[in-house]
């Protein structure tokens, strides 16, 4: 079980996320929701170890780094780097093959299968710079598929992609849930959250509510953007 113990995040003197405590239930789909600047991405980065916790700690229940898959926002990635689709997907096997693992011929079948699972069969040789936003997102999902981790952290996995791509990727997320994986996703579509995610963590600079989605996001709840935020403080 992935547990948060008073986890907070600071960037310099600014508090990005007030302390959060709680546990993500194994084998469940949990949505993290909130207005822009609510601390959603900061929490995911702290959970995966990309930013340090200003306070508290993340208990991964004995899981190693390779057992926690992470899908970042596209804006955080440099698509101008001369890399093929197959090489990018192959990096999902870094724990076993190192960062050069994508170049190992033994991975080719797994890479092709991962690409096929997201509707990108036959695209391994294409440059990532030539992909549309939706195609690139599918490739990022294929990389997560290759990692084959029991816990998956997804930062805005459906942002800026069309409806058909969203459906393909959502179907994959739901399949992960049926397989018993723990999926934690930053999302903005509350209709999608209510329909498919059993647990929800609502943030507004800190925790507002965490529990069953039907309790955290009842139909009559005010819009997320209107949720009273936690006033950021300066770090001591």
pLDDT exceeds cutoff 50 at 229? no
Under the banding of pLDDT at 50, 70 and 90, the label for residue 79 is confident
pLDDT number for residue 104: 58
CA distance 25 to 144: 20
The answer to the question of residue 234 being in a domain is no
Looking at per-residue pLDDT, the higher value among 29 and 66 belongs to 29
Q: Is 230 part of any domain?
A: no
The answer to whether 30 touches 185, Cβ cutoff 8 Å, is yes
The tens digit of pLDDT for each residue in 101-126 reads 545 567 889 999 999 999 999 999 99
How high is the mean pLDDT of the chain? 89
In a domain, 171, yes or no: yes
Let me know if residue 229 belongs to a domain: no
Task: Using pLDDT thresholds of 50, 70 and 90, give the confidence band for residue 231.
Answer: very low
Chain segment 3-37, per-residue pLDDT in tens: 999 999 999 999 999 999 999 999 999 999 999 99
183 assigned to some structural domain: yes
**Which comes out higher in pLDDT, residue 219 or 182?**
182
Residue 96 has a pLDDT of: 63
Beta-sheet pairing, 29-33 with 199-203: parallel
Q: At 73, is the pLDDT very low, low, confident or very high (cuts 50, 70, 90)? A: very high
Predicted model pTM = 0.89
pLDDT cut 70: percent of the chain above it: 88
Integer Cα distance of 33 and 208 in angstroms: 10
Count of domains forming the chain: 1
Domain membership of residue 133 (yes or no) is yes
Specify whether the CB–CB gap between 203 and 40 falls below 8 A: yes
CATH number of the domain encompassing residue 175:
3.40.50.300
Residue 227: inside a domain: no
Residue whose token pair is 């209107």 = 226
CB count within 10 Å of CB 91 equals: 17
32 CB-near residues (< 8 Å, 6+ apart): 40, 43, 44, 184, 185, 186, 187, 200, 201, 203
Assigned domain for 236 exists: no
Domain of residue 204, residue span? 2-216
Residue 91's contacts (CB-CB under 8 Å, 6 or more residues apart) are 99, 101, 102, 143
């Amino acid at each position: 079980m992935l547990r948060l113990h008073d986890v907070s995040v600071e960037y310099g003197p600014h508090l990005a996320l007030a302390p959060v405590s709680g546990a993500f239930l194994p084998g469940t789909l949990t949505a993290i929701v909130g207005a822009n600047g609510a601390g959603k991405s900061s929490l995911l980065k702290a959970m995966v170890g990309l930013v340090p916790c200003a306070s508290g700690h993340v208990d991964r229940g004995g899981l190693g780094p390779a057992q926690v898959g992470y899908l970042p926002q596209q804006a955080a990635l440099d698509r101008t780097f001369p890399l093929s689709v197959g090489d990018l997907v192959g990096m999902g096997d870094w724990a076993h093959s190192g960062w050069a693992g994508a170049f190992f011929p033994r991975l080719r079948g797994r890479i092709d299968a991962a690409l096929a699972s997201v509707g990108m069969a036959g695209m391994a040789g294409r440059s990532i710079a030539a992909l549309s936003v939706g195609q690139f997102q599918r490739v990022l999902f294929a990389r997560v598929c290759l990692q084959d981790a029991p816990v998956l952290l997804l930062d805005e996995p459906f942002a800026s992609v069309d409806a058909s791509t969203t459906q393909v990727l959502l179907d994959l997320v739901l399949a992960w849930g049926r397989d018993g994986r723990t999926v934690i996703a930053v999302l903005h579509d509350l209709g999608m959250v209510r329909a498919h995610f059993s647990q929800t963590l609502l943030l507004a600079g800190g925790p507002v509510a965490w529990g069953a989605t039907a309790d955290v996001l009842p139909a009559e709840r005010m819009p997320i953007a209107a949720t009273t935020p936690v006033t950021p403080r300066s770090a001591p």
